[in-house]
Amino acid sequence: MRLLFFGLRNKFILFNTIVGIVFITALSALLSHFMEKYTKENINQYVTSLNAQISNSIDRYVDDMQKVLMILSEDANLPVIADKKFVGTYEGYAAYNHFYDNIRSLIFFKGYKSLSVILFDRQEILTTDLNDGQDFKYIRNALNTNMYREITDSEQSMVLLPGFSLLPGKDNNTLFSQAIKLWGNLPGEKDFMVLSADKNLFSQFLNGVNNQAFDDILITTEDGKVIFSLKSDVSAYAEFSDKDISRLAEFDTLRLNGASYYANVKNSATTGWYVVSLINQNKVDKQINDSKIIIILTGIIVMAILIVAVHLFVTRSTRDLKRLSKTMKNIEKSNYQIRSDINRNDEIGDLSRSFNLMIKNVLENQVLRNEAEIKSLQDQINPHFLYNTLDAISSLAIKQDYVRINAMVEKLADFYRYNMNIASNNVVEIGTEIQHVKNYLEIIQVRYSSRLSVIYEIDEGVSEYRTIRFTLQPVVENAIKHAFNEMSMAYVIRIRAYETENAIVLEVSDNGIGIEQPMLRKIMQDIEGEAALPYSEPRGGVGLKNVNMRYKLLFGADYGISIESAKGSGTTVVITGRKMK
């Protein structure tokens, strides 16, 4: 608690915390108040939508049965089957087979329970039970049934029947049947055809919808008789009547079998039957109470989070200040690519942005300082280099080697032209940089005659990448001045340029005297700015330290110069830069 109140010592923060707690408490109470109304409305909308789907499905199902009956009633084989004179004949047998093929394609595929043809004149019922897999059964003296009487007494050509059994003593698993009179189509005066829908088939259809929220789904006739129950036997709803249907609104309460239900009623436009969905009222009340508990617990959790968040606010502010301090320490290591990533809209954020702006200015000043350093060092080396070059040209003039004199003058002109363009463009293609160092070495080779040889290994495509101007010349200068001291053998310089997966690498190798490891470590410290040795900035060159610094400023702290050497084994200077075109 002491730590908590220490985090809340700022009165403004404490005030906002209290206001937040009061607001969350009031909001939780308000949400609980409206939860019951919202839940009931949501259930009503969902049940209404589902009942409409079920009712529409019944209508489509009945319409489909009527279409099937119409198709089968026009079958050309029926008159042959109904006529007594074809009994026992080949033509009659063929008609039976053809009719069976037709009903397989129209009935078996759709999954109806059975198809029956009642032939009054022949006193026969021809029926197919697709579930048993049998063909036709010949059943006589079974015309005294309720279904038969209801069909014959009806004035309509098609009659919709609830779940009656066609045959006495048979299992009644029929949800409903659709009958069509064949009077006028067949020789008999009162022949008709009955297509029956299986209860199991319709149960499978209802199980395909999300009915887990319901206690039961009923289908009743217009007079309120329950002919189908999804989860119970219809006998459980014997007390249900047309009075219950007529007094129910679309969504209302209903007392049934000693329990209270929310009932939703939807009428089928085709059949006149009703779809009734029942939801236990206690289940809905429990859902509402559970929601209220969740809201209260959520409010408590939010209040706890708010209190902790206020405490963490001060800790976060201190942490960001420590991060900013750590970033500043990186600048001491000449890592000018690092930036503060603190992005806040307060005083600490302002401090972070000011720090980044300062680093940007320092970086720009560092670039200007390096360019000034290059210019200063060039001013120092140019007279000495020019003197040596003119001395070599003079020697060639004495020998009257005019071709080489012309070549040297052209190389010298190209060399100085390259020097003059540094102010306008500090980045050049690698091919241009290599050509510059070639000009330089060809001038130097005149002085060294045949003692100095240069090998170029430039990978295809590398020349199109860009690098910093005056990258190779300082390295070559160091090799000529320091690597070949006290050597009597021929001098060899190897210049390589190749690419790796993420970088472009330039290498300058020599076969000189090499560098001892203690001295190599000091040279690298100087190049990285951690020491001060005159070796890294020899007279006549712009200095490896300058090249390394410019690479890091342009490409980042991970790029720059590294040196591989051993006493008596030559030296390789490796310059690594980011791929850039």
Buried b or exposed e, range 463-502, using 16+ CB within 10 angstroms = eebbbbbbbbbbbbbbbbeebbeeeeeebbbbbbbeeeee
Band the pLDDT of 563: cuts 50, 70, 90: very high
Span 44-57, average pLDDT: 82
pLDDT value for 106: 74
Residue type, 405: I
User: Strand pairing partners for 227?
Assistant: none
Q: Per the structure block, which two tokens stand in for 154?
A: 């009806």
Q: What single string gives the DSSP state of each residue in 244-295?
A: HHHH--SEEEEEETTEEEEEEEEE-TTT--EEEEEEEHHHHHHHHHHHHHHH
**Residue ranges per domain, the chain?**
1-303, 358-578
Mean pLDDT, the chain, rounded, equals 74
pLDDT value for 572: 94
Q: Using CB atoms within 10 A of its CB, is residue 197 exposed (0-12), middle (13-18) or buried (19+)? A: buried
Span 267-277, average pLDDT: 83
R_g over Cα of the chain: 50
pLDDT value for 110: 77
pLDDT digits (tens, 9 = 90+) for 144-190: 566 777 777 777 888 887 765 555 545 556 777 888 888 766 665 67
Express the helix, strand and coil content of the chain in percent, nearest 5 each: 55, 20, 30
| Percent of the chain residues topping a pLDDT of 90 | 8
pLDDT digits (tens, 9 = 90+) for 423-444: 556 788 999 999 989 988 888 8
According to CATH, the superfamily of the domain at 358-578 is Histidine kinase-like ATPase, C-terminal domain (3.30.565.10)
pLDDT value for 484: 74
Least confident of 79-88, 212-221, 336-345, 563-572: 336-345
pLDDT value for 210: 57
pLDDT value for 536: 40
pLDDT digits (tens, 9 = 90+) for 188-229: 567 788 888 877 766 666 665 655 667 888 888 877 788 888
Query: Which residues 6+ apart lie within 8 Å of 418 measured at CB?
Result: 436, 439, 469
Least confident of 67-81, 294-308, 481-495, 525-539: 525-539
Q: Do domains 1-303 and 358-578 have the same CATH topology?
A: no
Query: Which residues 6+ apart lie within 8 Å of 98 measured at CB?
Result: 77
| Residue 328 pLDDT > 80 | no
Least confident of 189-193, 282-286, 355-359: 355-359
With contact defined as beta carbons under 8 Å apart, do 35 and 299 qualify? no
With contact defined as beta carbons under 8 Å apart, do 276 and 220 qualify? yes
> Is domain 1-303 classified as CATH 3.30.450.20?
yes
With contact defined as beta carbons under 8 Å apart, do 163 and 227 qualify? yes
Q: What single string gives the DSSP state of each residue in 547-567?
A: HHHHHHHHH-TT-EEEEEE-T
Instruction: Specify the pTM.
Output: 0.44
Residue with the larger pLDDT of the pair 211 and 121: 121
Residue type, 495: I
pLDDT value for 338: 66
**Helix boundaries (H) for 160-219:** 199-207
Alpha-carbon gap, residue 576 to 96, rounded angstroms: 92
